[in-house]
Structure 1
């Protein structure tokens, strides 16, 4: 198998072509180039096969400094809180999903090539934000022991049913939720506020101010200038995919959601608000759910990636909740693993955000997975040439 390691996905003409249709926006060439533009990490991209038609790819990064706590392993995994080692991040280092995922046969070679391509010594690796069904492949073929698995977060996906908003309403699980959605839509329609669709290049500066309001409201010290710079860099690389749903009070934008169109999906990335000028007209669900749904029905899109925040609000409006895991290969977590270690103190944090019915379903689904991951971590790797 031929493997080449490159510094940028732009050197791989077939990068996007090799990606799947669903759930791969955060592995797209343009998103990865944007992520690398902050200069906080060195990038290596391992590619199997020809660069024009690669059979598998794996991004790896080694951070000089990582400003995003969600991509610092010691911040996100309790077992690594005091870890002194330098770990490469596999699968990307922005967004909330790590893809693409090579097959089990190709992965060991790609991983070894990517991690050893850095100029500095790397002590191990961390692969965050994987779906449950991806953990097995990411955990396989380790050097001397199975990597440790930890629960990190959960994200939300809204499947777009049928061909109209009436079909969306009909798909909601009960009469009460359908009534609430109709009330929210009606309140917004009567508010005098309007929604306009824009490209990010048309509003990144104003969007930076509104996005900063949201960030600071939730305890993040992100200035308007910082957020405007993030949006400007995204517009430079991703404007052709951008759809901004701007909420206007007359000529003034008072809120927005930023989405990216990726094949059959719409990916909601960011929101911003001028809280002093809102009218209690359900502006948030209008910009995150109902206007994007209208766009999806017009364009024939079949899903909306809603991200990791506001799990409860999104579940109430029909989103599916999916657990996200990390896999770590590091001497700090080489000992026996139990269910509590796998759950990483995150299960209660996540379920407290959810309505009771969704919390019960989430818990019932995740505990058997945690037990299986804990058991697998204690099972030695089989010798080469034997199946696990």
Structure 2
């Protein structure tokens, strides 16, 4: 990478001093990465494949006068790759997944501690009393409205470069690429979108990808319902067994039943001259 606009993928702010890789192995986006090896491989063959993968990434980096790294590895992936690299994995973030037991939302609530059950029921009740219109849409049907809210969310978190055009373009491209798999749950106040959550059902998990609300027109517990409760309901309807809630605000996710694990980075040997970002 010659230029990385996302600070969360800039190695200068994430890795120890002296490590400035410019080749990324694994996923460049999504804050979740793991090498793709066949599940049926025995350990010896899997480790041999991982060594070949490391060597291929190292060769590509060598040709460009730099090194490579793996950002946002799951704990399992980091443990498998760590023996192939110098130094220990660097913990970057915590990652939250909410298990979905049973067959419906009631089973999810029942799995929480008693105090949290009361809180969840209250947050849902007060949100429902606000009378917002909850709609389940394809992303293609609301990308422009969602892009406006997402740009405001990014701006509130210090990402001034993520303007309306950039965020709308991002969502449009995602809608075009993912089609009907790009699902959105929204809350409308009249004709105005008050908030949205974009998520994907994949394998046994529902993956949250973007959430934003209109902070200028707050509704009771709008964020919590869009981020957790409404996607959980749809996850049960779709038959998935977990909600991937991602990084940040970890304690809020723990209070809603999340199990937390680490996300790690591994970097190859020290770079040569001229390889720093």
Superposed displacement of residue 330, structure 1: 2.3
| Counterparts of 2:58 and 2:206, CA distance in 1 | 32
| Counterparts of 2:56 and 2:270, CA distance in 1 | 20
Gaps of 5+ in 1: 1-62, 333-388
| Counterparts of 1:217 and 1:295, CA distance in 2 | 28
1:148–1:329 CA contact under 8 A, matched in 2: no
State the match for 2:51 in structure 1.
108
1:162–1:168 CA contact under 8 A, matched in 2: yes
State the match for 2:140 in structure 1.
201
Q: What do you get for the CA RMSD once the two structures are aligned?
A: 1.8
- 1:293 matches 2:232: yes
State the match for 1:259 in structure 2.
199
Superposed displacement of residue 155, structure 1: 1.1
For the residue of structure 2 that corresponds to 1:65, the secondary structure is coil
Superposed displacement of residue 131, structure 1: 2.3
Superposed displacement of residue 118, structure 1: 6.4
State the match for 1:50 in structure 2.
none
For the residue of structure 1 that corresponds to 2:119, the secondary structure is helix
| Counterparts of 1:100 and 1:190, CA distance in 2 | 46
State the match for 1:330 in structure 2.
269
2:11–2:21 CA contact under 8 A, matched in 1: no
State the match for 2:247 in structure 1.
308
1:98 to 24, 33, 50: 33
Which protein has greater RCO, CA pairs closer than 8 Å, 6+ apart? 2
| Counterparts of 1:324 and 1:86, CA distance in 2 | 18
Q: What TM-score results when the alignment is normalised by the length of structure 2? A: 0.89
State the match for 2:150 in structure 1.
211
2:84 to 117, 141, 144: 141
| Counterparts of 1:149 and 1:118, CA distance in 2 | 20
| Counterparts of 1:188 and 1:156, CA distance in 2 | 24
2:23–2:57 CA contact under 8 A, matched in 1: no
For the residue of structure 2 that corresponds to 1:276, the secondary structure is coil
State the match for 1:69 in structure 2.
7
| Counterparts of 1:86 and 1:163, CA distance in 2 | 46
Superposed displacement of residue 94, structure 1: 0.3
For the residue of structure 2 that corresponds to 1:106, the secondary structure is helix
Superposed displacement of residue 120, structure 1: 4.3
2:9–2:28 CA contact under 8 A, matched in 1: yes
For the residue of structure 1 that corresponds to 2:193, the secondary structure is strand
Which stretch of structure 1 is more off in the superposition, 195-204 or 111-120?
A: 111-120
Superposed displacement of residue 122, structure 1: 4.2
1:197–1:245 CA contact under 8 A, matched in 2: yes
1:104–1:140 CA contact under 8 A, matched in 2: no
1:87–1:122 CA contact under 8 A, matched in 2: no
Change (3 A) 1:118 1:133: closer
1:101–1:138 CA contact under 8 A, matched in 2: no
Superposed displacement of residue 289, structure 1: 0.9
| Counterparts of 1:318 and 1:122, CA distance in 2 | 46
| Counterparts of 2:249 and 2:24, CA distance in 1 | 26
Aligned length: 262
Q: What TM-score results when the alignment is normalised by the length of structure 1? A: 0.64
Residues 276-328 of structure 1 show CA distances to partners (whole Å, capped at 9, x for unaligned) of 1222x101111111111111111111111111122121111111111111111
Superposed displacement of residue 64, structure 1: 1.8
